[in-house]
């Protein structure tokens, strides 16, 4: 079946550095991707999304890059702060206006060292 | 409300007991979803609602699991005769719409109910 996976299960960075979290997907029909942040004991929090007709989208301190050629998605966090420490999930929507399901990757644990 | 809310936040029960988990979606969101997350794992899709109907129940792990939604708003996930393997965080999400424009399908999550079956 189609799946979404992550290259790195854990990432440790120094405060102030930039972080890059990667995600690979296998469904070429996926047309919508979302990054979620989940802090310990909380539900996933929406960070940023991107449609398949785009290859880059920027938010506040975050940028999502989409490479459809190699089916790769990444989340870049600028000037990483201790409050960014969390598990980050990518999720993909399988395509088609009526496809409701989001398929989640297993997550990457980001640890920010002060 | 401002966000998705879930209750209880924590539930400890004995094996064999029934539990009910509640979800209040964001006001105006027509679609509602239930997920399960085991410790250190990703999210396992359980069921979704469009309005009060649940067209696809194939994600429910067994017939001990059921869910309903009334008035196009509040949803309840019921687990009958709980087993220890049911212990997990149960997450609810809602989205403005089920299909159509990508942005409307963005799912917003509640804080979850942590279920522990002893």
Q: Which of A44, A100, A104 sits opposite B99 (nearest CB)?
A: A100
Q: Kind of pairing, strands B75-79 and B108-109?
A: unpaired
A17 CA: distance to closest CA in chain B (Å): 26
Length of chain B: 118
Kindly determine whether residue B99 and residue A93, on different chains, have CB atoms separated by under 8 Å.
no
Burial A26-61 (b: 16+ CB within 10 A, else e): ebeebbbbbbbbbeeeebbeebbbbebeeeeeeeee
Q: How far is CA A12 from the centre of its chain?
A: 16
Q: How many whole angstroms separate alpha carbon A99 and alpha carbon B100?
A: 9
Round to whole Å and give the CA distance between A107 and A22: 10
| pLDDT higher than 60, residue A7 | no
Dihedral of CA A5/A8/A9/A12: which sign? negative
- Is the Cβ pair B110, A45 closer than 8 Å? no
pLDDT grade for A106, boundaries at 50, 70 and 90: confident
Inter-chain residue contact B112 with A89, CB threshold 8 Å: no
- How many Å apart are CA B37 and CA B45, to the nearest integer? 9
Question: Which residue of B43, B93, B99 is in closest CB contact with A97?
Answer: B99
Q: Check pLDDT > 80 for residue A2.
A: no
pLDDT confidence of residue A15: 96
Confidence (pLDDT) at B64: 97
DSSP string of A48-99, one letter each residue: EEEETT-SEEE-SSEEEEEETTTTEEEEEESS--GGG-EEEEEEEE-SSTT-
Q: What is the structure's pLDDT at A1?
A: 32
CB contact under 8 A, A46 and B48: no
* CATH classification of the domain holding A82: 2.60.40.10
Query: pLDDT for A10-41, tens place per residue?
Result: 999 999 999 999 999 888 888 889 999 999 88
Question: What distances in angstroms separate CA A28 from CA A54, A69, A114, B1, B25, one per listed residue?
Answer: 14, 9, 39, 37, 31
Contact A104 B43 (CB under 8 A): yes
What chain A residue is nearest to B44 in terms of C-alpha separation?
A: A104
Q: What integer pLDDT is reported at residue A5 of this predicted model?
A: 52
Total count of domains within chain A: 1
Q: Is the pLDDT of residue A95 over 90?
A: no
A10 touches chain B (CB under 8 A): no
Cis peptide before A97 (omega within 30 of 0): no
Over the stretch A60-91, which tens digit does the pLDDT of each residue have?
A: 999 999 999 999 999 999 999 999 999 999 99
Burial class (CB in 10 A: 0-12, 13-18, 19+), A105: buried
* DSSP-derived pairing of the beta strands B88-95 and B75-79: unpaired
Is A114 part of the contact surface with chain B (CB cutoff 8 Å)? no
At B60 the three-state DSSP class reads: coil
In this predicted structure, what is the pLDDT of residue A8?
A: 46
Pairs of residues, one from chain A and one from chain B, whose beta carbons lie less than 8 Å apart = 56
Range of the domain at A22: 4-113
All domains of chain B, ordered by start, with CATH? 21-100 (2.60.40.10)
**CA neighbor of A6 nearest in space, from A110, A107, A87:** A107
pLDDT at A88: 95
Residue A106: which of B41, B93, B98 has the nearest Cβ?
Answer: B41
What is the pLDDT tens value at each position of chain B, 118 positions in all? Answer: 589 999 999 999 999 999 999 999 999 898 899 999 987 778 888 999 988 999 888 889 999 999 999 888 999 999 999 999 999 999 999 988 765 555 667 889 999 999 999 9
- For the record, the structure tokens of B101 come out as 């424009």
Is A114 a residue whose pLDDT tops 50?
yes
- Tell me which residue in A34, A103, A104 faces B106 most closely, judged by beta carbons: A34
Cβ–Cβ contact A97 with B under 8 A: yes
């Amino acid at each position: 079946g189609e799946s979404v996976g992550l290259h790195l299960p854990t990432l440790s960075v120094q405060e102030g550095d930039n972080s890059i979290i990667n995600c690979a997907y296998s469904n070429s029909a996926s047309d919508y991707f979302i990054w979620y942040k989940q802090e310990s004991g909380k539900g996933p929090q929406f960070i940023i999304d991107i449609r398949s007709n785009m290859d880059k989208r920027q938010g506040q301190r975050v940028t999502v890059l989409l490479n459809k050629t190699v089916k790769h998605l990444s989340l870049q966090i600028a000037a990483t702060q201790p409050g960014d420490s969390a598990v980050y999930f990518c999720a993909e929507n399988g395509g088609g206006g009526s496809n409701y399901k989001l398929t989640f990757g297993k997550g990457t644990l980001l640890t920010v060292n002060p | 409300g401002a966000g998705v809310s879930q209750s209880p936040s924590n539930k400890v029960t004995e094996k064999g007991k029934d539990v009910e988990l509640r979800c209040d979606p964001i006001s105006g969101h027509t679609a509602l979803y239930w997920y399960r997350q085991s410790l250190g794992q990703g999210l396992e899709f359980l069921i979704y609602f469009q309005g009060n109907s649940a067209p696809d129940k194939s994600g429910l792990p067994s017939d001990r699991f059921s869910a309903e939604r009334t008035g196009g708003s509040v949803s309840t996930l019921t687990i009958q005769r709980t087993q220890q393997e049911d212990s997990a965080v149960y997450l609810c999400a809602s989205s403005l719409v089920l299909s159509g424009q990508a942005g409307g399908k963005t799912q917003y999550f509640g804080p979850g109910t942590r279920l522990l079956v002893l």
